Chain A
Amino acid sequence: MIALSQSRTKEVLAIHGWSGVFLGLLLYAVILTGVIAVFAHEIGEWSAPLPHATHELPQQGLDAALRARAAEVDPAFHDELFFFSDTAGRIRTFFHTHDQKPGESTPTDRGVEFDLDPVTLAVLDRREGWADEVQAQNLPAALADFFVELHVSLHLPNPWGLLVTGILGLAMLVASVTGFLVHRHLIRELFTLRKKKDPLLVKRDAHVIAGTWNLPFAFVLAFTGSYFSFAGAFAIPAVAMVAFGGDQEKLIETVVGVSVPENKTPAGFANLDAMLADARSRTGADAGFVSISHYGRADAVVSLSMMPLEGELASDNLIYDGATGAFVRQKPFLGLQPSLGNDLFLLMTPLHFGHFAGIWSKTVWFALGFAGAYVTLSGMLLWTTRRQHQPGWARLARAAHWMGYGLPLALAAVPLARFIAPGLELDVRAAQNWTFIAAAALATAIALKVRDLDTLRCVLLAGTGVALLLAAPLRWLTGGPGWVTAFEAGLATVIAFDLALLLAGALCLLAARRAKVQPLAASDAKLIDEASPA
């Protein structure tokens, strides 16, 4: 495609390979967990189903719910609050204020959080404390949160976790750009699979095909992923430091564009349902996120983030005077006028999460993400297998097998802990974390014990298959709805997820059986040398 000299191609190929070798193991973990996190809502719905599945805010009743919950909490927590439909389908509302947590330099949110039934708006759960404590007590979202946190920050403390995943995103960006540059025959390689050749050559072709088809998607995911990581880790504080002398609140005020003179005079609060109805009539869309500042004061502000209309990626915010209910303005998400910064900002989220067209776009993102995980793993295996006669590379080949097939085993074990822990009165989030660590330790022990890499792959695949097959029956045995109940309640996600896990488990067992019959890793590495692009 792009004409590079032979020496340049070699350099670019070296960058491509080494970016994968240095960071491939962790990159694979981030991609695989990202593939799972695409279905965070569905995982929440599957692991903690309500009698009625919905991920929308109700059109009526939110005002009464707001007043009832506001009366129950310390008025100090009326400072800020929000409503949104969370990953487990509950309406989550958090009444909070910004407070100084002992031992921390920056203010943290502290308050009371409620889970409300999305249809009846009855209180399902109440949690109180600092934001991180409140989050730790949130049981329905625990399983989805585990996968999302692993993807976002590898469960490392901030900002280190975000920095690591950001750097991994940059490595993926390098691999996708160099992957494009080293393909001299891009179109031909999209369709070249030499099935009747040596199995290792077939694997190399499969890596190239999956990688080539996946290049634009890998680029988009890498770019948006590293943006999200670095923005939170240091970019926003750095720009706030330069532009506003470190005042992040001033930055947010400028960027969000809502500034109301402070007025602490107590005042009534206008009807929230009426504001939601007005917003719906103005935009034709439903609100996805409701944010209220200074509830019960004369300077109360209501900000409604509307859902994008069908066929659109972005939407607007509507601002209302909380005390009178008067419409103030319709504005872009950032700033008060349309801008390039706002457009780019709004593009990042749908491009990374793939939720712009519901389950269909999520399925495409899942498939392309899965292909990305396959490309990362197969690239690692090809790169290390071709050098496995050298001691260091042999160890890396083992590590690639351990991560490639051990990580799915550890991830598949986590839902089992989610369902067993409540019955044993264990802390669910801690049980999930320890189960993941225990399963990863087991995979490590197996990787150290089993010398033959094909047998290792076979054992880990079989373990993953068994764990996946156990998840659905365990969900049902620990009090979750059976298929008949789920069908009658319209909980299609529960049935679909059960079936998907059973199918995935069966495919893993089948793959383990095939791996035993057709060992691949011992093939002659020379064939890959001959087949390599440069």
Chain B
Amino acid sequence: MTTLVAASSNRRRAWSRGLLAGPVCFITAAAVMAGAALWYPEGAAQINNIAVPIIVFPAIWAALFFYLMLDRRLGRAWVVAVLLLLGHAALIGQHLMAAQAAKKAAAPAAASTEGAPR
């Protein structure tokens, strides 16, 4: 009975680890890459925040993959991945909403300028 429970627990941990280091890792790495466009320094040419995250995406994924695969404490690995994912998703969401609001605010202003007598 104890052996069966242990085997079942091991199987669950293996699936959890596979899910974490597979799809969750990939989605998190993609979120970090996209979110980095907002926090990575632009540099003098104002393109580093766009080009560098795209180029180093394989490195972001690899670093995350090895950490999520090799951290003995599975729960901690899940917490790190989820925090990274949610943190970047929130950053991106907030930026997109702010951009949307700015666009809405600019639209009536542009319309009133066009309609104004010259």
Contacts and interface: CB of A to CB of B under 8 A. Distances in A.
Interface of A: 8, 11-12, 15, 169-170, 173-174, 177, 222-223, 226-227, 230-231, 234-236, 238-239, 241-243, 245, 251, 254-255, 257, 332, 334-342, 344-345, 348
B52 A340 contact: yes
A173 B58 contact: yes
Contacts of A222: 58
B37 interface: yes
A257 B46 CA distance: 10
Interface stretch (B4-12, B63-71, B76-84, B106-114): B63-71
Contact of B37 (A11, A169, A242): A242
Nearest to A176: B62
B103 to A, nearest CB: 8
Nearest to B99: A245
Contact of B45 (A170, A236, A337): A337
Contacts of A15: 69
Interface residues of B, number: 34
B55 A344 contact: yes
A177 B66 CA distance: 10
Nearest to A237: B34
A238 B34 contact: yes
A134 B61 CA distance: 37
Given A11-B70, A242-B38, A341-B50, A334 B45 contact: yes
B62 A170 contact: yes
Contacts of B86: none
A335 B46 CA distance: 7
13 contacts: A226-B61, A230-B54, A235-B53, A238-B30, A239-B33, A242-B37, A245-B103, A255-B47, A255-B50, A335-B45, A339-B48, A341-B43, A344-B52
Given A238-B34, A348-B55, 17 more contacts: A222-B58, A226-B57, A235-B33, A235-B57, A239-B50, A239-B54, A245-B103, A254-B46, A255-B47, A339-B44, A339-B47, A339-B48, A339-B51, A340-B52, A341-B50, A342-B51, A344-B52
B28 interface: no
Contacts of A338: 45
